[in-house]
């Protein structure tokens, strides 16, 4: 049984279940794992604005840049299908918010050091004008 604890009342209910469990008959194992959310919609929008900016400055298509950065910064996975191991390309959709933030940071550093393109950090003062410019320019 897996319990998701989102609020204090969930925790109280879980402790009550534990209290009412007879551990003498069957041993149990309890673990606590911090869950993380999938990448957020604002992160995804920012990502495509970054790609639009790089597209505008390099002439490379944003979708091609998406494939390039996935290949450059994300690890491929080895999976077994029908008894055969295959290497599958990484997906940004499976990244949690922390991993996606790190991915965006790698792209920002790459853009700055390799392409001389300054992509603003979400906390930067110029972020609003950046968002407006690339939303209007590329209909994102």
**What torsion do the CA atoms of 11, 13, 19, 25 make, to the nearest 10 degrees?**
-100
Residue in the structure block whose two tokens are 């149990």: 28
For residue 41, the model assigns a pLDDT of: 82
The pTM for the full model equals 0.66
What pLDDT score does 122 carry?
74
62-71, 83-92, 118-127: range with lowest mean pLDDT? 118-127
Q: Does the pLDDT of residue 119 top 60, yes or no?
A: yes
What pLDDT, in 10s, does the model give residues 11-70?
Answer: 888 888 888 887 787 777 777 766 556 777 888 999 999 999 999 999 999 999 999 999
Instruction: Look at residue 27 in the predicted model and tell me its pLDDT.
Output: 77
CA–CA separation, 13 vs 40, rounded Å? Answer: 29
Rg (CA), the chain: 22
Q: Which domains does the chain have, with CATH numbers?
A: 41-138 (1.10.3790.10)
Mean pLDDT score of the chain: 85
pLDDT at 104: 96
The stretch 128-139 carries a mean pLDDT of 74
Q: Which has the closest alpha carbon to 117: 52, 67, 61?
A: 52
Q: What is the DSSP string of 36-93?
A: -PBPPHHHHHHHHHHHHHHHHHH---HHHHHHHHHHHHS--EEEEETTEEEEE---GG
- Average pLDDT estimate for 111-117: 97
* 37 contacts: CB under 8 Å, gap ≥ 6: 96, 97
Distance between CA 25 and CA 80 in Å, rounded?
38
């Amino acid at each position: 049984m897996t319990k998701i604890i989102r609020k204090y009342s969930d925790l109280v209910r879980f402790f009550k279940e534990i209290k009412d469990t007879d551990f003498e008959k069957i041993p149990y194992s309890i673990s606590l794992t911090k869950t993380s959310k999938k990448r957020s919609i604002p992160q995804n929008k920012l990502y495509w604005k970054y790609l639009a900016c790089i597209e505008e400055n390099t002439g490379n298509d944003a979708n091609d840049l998406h494939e390039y950065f996935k290949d450059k910064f994300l690890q491929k996975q080895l999976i077994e299908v029908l008894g055969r191991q295959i290497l599958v390309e990484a997906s940004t959709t499976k990244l949690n918010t922390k991993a996606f933030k790190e991915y965006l940071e790698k792209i920002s550093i790459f853009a700055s050091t390799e392409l001389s393109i300054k992509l603003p950090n979400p906390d930067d003062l110029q972020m609003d004008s950046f968002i407006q410019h690339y939303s209007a320019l590329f209909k994102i």
